[in-house]
Structure 1
Amino acid sequence: MDSDTFIFCLEAVPDVDTNRTTEVVKNLEQLAFEQGITSIYKTCDTIEGLEESLNSLLYEDHNFTNYEIIYFVVQGEGNTICLNEYYYSLEEIAELFEGKMKGKILHFANAKVLDLSPDEAQYFLDVTGARAVSGYGASHQNITSSSLDKLFFSLFEEQDDIIEIVEELHQKNYALCKLLDFRLYY
C-alpha cells in the first residue's frame, strides 16, 4: 500500500541521552507495519531541543511537505507545554514556528490537556499557518490517547477533509472521544 500520510512525532522525555522504547514508539511502529503510515520519531527535553528537531525537519528533510501531521507527546495543560519543568505558552511556540507549519495538523496526545480559547486557537493557527490543532480536553492517569491517536492518524489514509475525519473518529470510537474530550481547532 502506498502511504500518503506521514507523521513527525516529537516526544518530551526527562533526558534525551537515556535511550528507551516508549509506548509512543511502539504505536508508531504498529502504524507502520499494519497500515504503512510513515513516521519520524524524535525526543526532546528542552525548548531548544524542540526547536532544533522541528527546524531539522523543516530545513533538512526534503520530504517535509509530505508530513501532514506533527504529533506532540508532551506534558502540560491548557495553553502551555512543559519541558524539563519549564512551562511555555502555545503563543511562544507559535512564534518559534511562525509561518512554518503551513497546511500541517498539529496533534497533541492527552499527556497534555489542550484547552484553548477561540482567540488563542486562532492566533496559533494564524501565526504558524497550521491547518488545524487537535488534542484532548481531559487527562486520565490510567488512560492514554494512543489508541484514539492511531485511529485518528489512520483515517487520514482514507480522506483529507478534517471535519469528516473527526466525525468518523467519533462514529468509530464515540465513548473514548467523549471520555478524553477530543478537540479540534481549525
Structure 2
Amino acid sequence: MDQDKFIFCLEGVRDVEITTATLVVKNLEQLALEQGIPSIYKSCDTIEGLVDSLSALLYHDHNFKDYEIIYLVMPGERNNICLNDYYYSFEEIAELFEGKMKGKIIHFSNAKVLDLSPEEAQYFLDITGATALSGYGEVSYKLPSFAIDKAFFSLCQEIDDVVEIVEELHQKHYALCKLLDFRLYY
C-alpha cells in the first residue's frame, strides 16, 4: 500500500499550556503503529491558534501536499465550532481557509454535529478549495468516532474517489456509520 496521504489533526482544547496526551493523541499514535499512517497533531484553544497551526503547515512544511486529511476534533454546534467559549460559523472558517485547502478532505470528529445544507456545504467547499467535508450527524461522548475515523482514514489511503471511500466505509461498517450518522459533502 502506498502510504503517501498524511493526517493533520487539530484538537480544540481548553488550554494549550496543559500538555497531557489526550485520547486523540493516543488514537493517532495507535493508527501510526497499526496502519503506518503518519500524522501531525496540534492543539489549539483560540481561532488564532487554529489559523497559526494551519498556516505553519501550509507555508513552512514542504510536505503539505502529502497531508490529504485535515482532521478537526473540536466541539461546537450544528454549523459552527467552539474555541475558548467563542463560536465561529462555518462561513467564518471558510473565509479563514480561503483557497488554502485545495485537494484536502476536512474531516470532523463527532465532538460536534456536522449538519450543513447543500448550499452551506458548497459555499465552504468553493471558498476553501477542499475536495470534501465529512463528519457526523450525531454527537456522542460515550461513543467517540475514532473507530470509524480510523477506518475512514485507512480507506483514504487505498481509494482516491471520495464517493467510493464512503460506499466502502458503509459496506464495511454500516451499523457504526448509521449510528453516528456519517456524512460527506463533496
User: What is the TM-score when the length of structure 2 is the normalising length?
Assistant: 0.98
Q: Secondary structure at the match of 2:99?
A: coil
Match of 1:53 in 2: 53
Aligned-partner Cα distance in 2 for 1:105–1:140: 22
Q: Is the 8 A contact 2:80 2:89 kept in 1?
A: yes
Percentage of pairs with the same residue = 73
The CA distance in 2 between the partners of 1:47 and 1:106, in whole Å, is: 17
Q: Tell me the alpha carbon deviations over residues 130-157 of structure 1, each in whole angstroms, 9 at most, x when there is no partner.
A: 0000000011231100100001001112
Q: 2:101 aligned with 1:108, yes or no?
A: no
Cα RMSD over matched residues? Answer: 0.9
Q: Does 1:153 align with 2:153?
A: yes
Q: Which runs of 5+ in 2 are unaligned?
A: none
Distance in 2 between the 1:134 and 1:4 partners? 20
Report the secondary structure of 1:140's partner residue: coil
Structure 2 counterpart of 1:4, which letter? Answer: D
Q: CA deviation at 1:27?
A: 1.1
1:26 match: secondary structure: helix
| Residues 31-180 of structure 1: pairs in structure 2 closer than 5 A | 31-180=31-180
Check the 8 A contact 1:71/1:107 in 2, yes or no. yes
Aligned-pair CA distance for 1:10 = 0.1
**Partners in 2 of 1:2 and 1:168 — Cα distance?**
18
CA distance in 2, matches of 1:62, 1:112: 31
Question: What is the alpha-carbon distance in structure 1 between the residues aligned to residue 36 and residue 86 of structure 2?
Answer: 36
User: Residue 55 of structure 2 aligns to a residue in which SS?
Assistant: helix
- Secondary structure in structure 2 of the residue aligned to 1:87: strand
SS in 2 for 1:157: helix
Matched position secondary structure for 1:133: strand
Does the CA-based 8 Å contact 1:45-1:83 persist in structure 2?
Answer: yes
- The Cα offsets for residues 16-47 of structure 1, whole Å up to 9 and x where unpaired, read as 00011111111111111111111000000000
TM (norm. structure 1) is: 0.98
